[in-house]
Amino acid sequence: MPRLDLTASAADLTRAICDIPSVSDDETALADAIFDAVSALTHLEVHRDGDTIVARTHLGRAQRVAIAGHIDTVPINSNLPTREIEVDGEPHLWGRGTVDMKAGVAVQLKLAAELVDPRVDLTWLWYDHEEVEASRSGLTRLARSRPDLFAADFAILGEPSGGEVEGGCNGTLRAIVRTHGARAHSARSWMGENAIHAAAPILARLADYCAAEVPVEGLVYREGLNAVSISGGVAGNVIPDLCEIEVNYRFAPSRDAAEAERHVREVFDGFEVEITDLAEGARPGLDAALAQEFVAAVGAVPTAKYGWTDVARFSALGVPAVNYGPGDPMLAHHDQERVPLAQIESVERGLRAWLTSR
């Protein structure tokens, strides 16, 4: 079984974690390695739920901070094992998971091992199934079995943010928009009704859609509505009777789930719409005292998080949360995923300095 050395540098630990493949549904080997490593730390109470591991201090501090990161990745595409490369003269670690988000997890694991006397009590959460539908997330499961483990005054998600602070996040909705027709032989197409042709107005509405930029508590969130897949067809000589277009709506945290669903149904009025996944976003939460102290300590200028992250889970529980981690979010899921080694070190310094200041 792979073993993790938590005394290694955060960069070396990133490489070790990335080289343990953990595509969603295959996180157990990495979860085992993390569990074994943190279970040896006597200053932490460790709890495991499936492939989610939670480690907590109990120092009697007046405040508690939750720091979380997911351990799964999107599928590998010839980008493991990791290797060190230079980009514009700067050393980077290249490979699947380096950005999203094992560099952040590595920083967290190193600090979890070393910070035995932090300024606040800490809850570290490393969880599975973030890269798939929200219902399968380890945090969803944990919220049912141990909701007490989410208790905190402030939360930090180690999602890639370029070493800057990103407040809140957009919500996300996925839906299937369907058209129906009637099958016929393609040589006698007038005897049927082509469902794929009937989908043309759906694509036209998407092409004409203007994404809104929505200010929320001082940050500007950019929305988006896009087709992400299309399917239809029976055989090469049959007029299709069904076409399905999957759309993804990214909506500002000023909208709740009901408003987001209503908007999508209005855009596709006249068509059959099935909502398949829906997760609300999170407001920035930067007005909380701990959040302001954190932002000041790391010297960041907060920006909006366009993608959905698990800050939304904490926000829904009344816990203000931000994203702060190494890696360019534009390279998340990219085949050339890579993280600057200096950025891993910078995030480690920022978190360490804030968590140990008095």
Catalytic residues: 72, 130
- For 297, the 3-state DSSP assignment is helix
Q: Is 42 exposed, middle or buried (0-12, 13-18, 19+ CB in 10 A)?
A: exposed
First to last CA, the chain: 40
The rounded distance, in Å, linking the Cα atoms of 115 and 136 is 31
Q: How many CA atoms lie within 13 A of 256 on its CB side?
A: 2
Beta pairing partners, 220? 215
**Closest by Cα among 226, 333, 216, 326 to 280:** 216
- CA distances 239 to 174, 182, 202, 230, Å, are 27, 7, 19, 16
- The kind and range of the H/E element at 356 are helix 341-356
The rounded distance, in Å, linking the Cα atoms of 262 and 265 is 5
User: CB neighbours (10 Å) of residue 201?
Assistant: 12
The label of the residue with tokens 């460790």 reads: 46
**Closest by Cα among 91, 138, 162, 133 to 332:** 162
Beta pairing partners, 282? 169
**CA 143: distance to chain centroid?**
17
User: If you count DSSP H runs as helices and E runs as strands, how many of each does the chain have, helices first?
Assistant: 9, 19
Report whether 314 contacts 65 (CB < 8 A). Answer: no
What amino acid occupies position 69? Answer: G
Beta pairing partners, 154? 65
